[in-house]
């Protein structure tokens, strides 16, 4: 096989791939969310939030307040990253770029501030511990896992205490019934617990 024919094959395969991607793009652009499709869109939004936000924008759909906030935060992070690059090797001719990036950061913060009043964002409360995770360089998504593990551990402790108190109650009632049988019979009658001694 000559290298020219190998290149032709590769070129043909790439052209086929490009055509397939173009056709997928056409199908996706004509996609109408109905029935099961809306569930698919929801699942895709969970897996690819940024891409689905762009998809909705391209279809003319208004992004939710949370998506708008996410997009603003991503833009803010990118601008701050670019400022860091410019400042790390500052040259006098880069002053205009630095100024425009600083203005973009300020504008981004103003947009984020405006989004505070959006109804879908107002009720969101982020635990302060999540910020501690971020400050420590840990993944904030681990917070939920850690909370669940702590709750499970606490649940096991409480269950152990409940079991111990139940055994104590049974033993106490048994011993009291041996020492004070008449009084315990009256107690059980009052409590509605007339039954054989434990």
Coil, strand or helix: which one is 159? helix
- In this predicted model, what pLDDT tens digit does every residue of 107-146 receive, in sequence order? 888 888 888 877 777 777 778 888 888 888 888 888 888 8
The domain segmentation of the chain, as residue ranges, is 64-124, 128-198
In the chain, the percentage of residues whose pLDDT exceeds 70 is 65
Cβ atoms of 160 and 136 closer than 8 Å:
no
Q: Is the pLDDT of residue 44 over 90?
A: no
Cβ atoms of 83 and 105 closer than 8 Å:
yes
Supply the pLDDT for residue 36.
47
Q: Is the dihedral of CA 44, 49, 51, 55 positive or negative?
A: positive
- In this predicted model, what pLDDT tens digit does every residue of 174-188 receive, in sequence order? 999 999 999 988 888
Coil, strand or helix: which one is 33? coil
Summary mean pLDDT of the chain: 76
- The C-alpha atoms of residue 118 and residue 68 are separated, in whole angstroms, by 10
* More confident: 78 or 197: 78
Token pair recorded at residue 19 = 């055509």
Q: Is the pLDDT of residue 72 over 70?
A: yes
Report residue 151's pLDDT band, with 50, 70 and 90 as the boundaries.
very high
- Name the phi and psi angles at 169, rounded to 5: -60, -45
First vs last Cα of the chain: how many Å apart? 91
């Amino acid at each position: 096989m000559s290298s020219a024919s190998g290149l032709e094959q590769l070129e043909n395969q790439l052209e086929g791939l490009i055509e397939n991607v173009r056709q997928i793009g056409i199908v996706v652009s004509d996609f109408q969310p109905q029935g099961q499709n809306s569930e698919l869109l929801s699942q895709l939004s969970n897996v690819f939030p940024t891409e689905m936000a762009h998809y909705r924008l391209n279809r003319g759909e208004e992004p939710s307040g949370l998506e708008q906030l996410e997009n603003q935060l991503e833009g803010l992070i990118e601008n701050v990253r670019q400022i860091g690059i410019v400042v790390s090797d500052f040259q006098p001719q880069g002053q205009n770029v630095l100024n425009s990036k600083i203005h973009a950061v300020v504008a981004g913060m103003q947009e984020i501030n405006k989004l505070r009043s959006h109804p879908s964002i107002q009720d969101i409360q982020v635990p302060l511990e999540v910020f501690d995770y971020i400050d420590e360089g840990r993944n904030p998504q681990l917070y939920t896992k850690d909370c669940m593990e702590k709750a499970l551990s606490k649940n096991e402790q409480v269950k152990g205490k409940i079991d111990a108190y139940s055994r104590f109650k049974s033993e106490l009632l048994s011993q009291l019934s041996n020492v004070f049988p008449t009084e315990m019979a009256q107690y059980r009658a009052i409590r509605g617990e007339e039954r054989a001694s434990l």
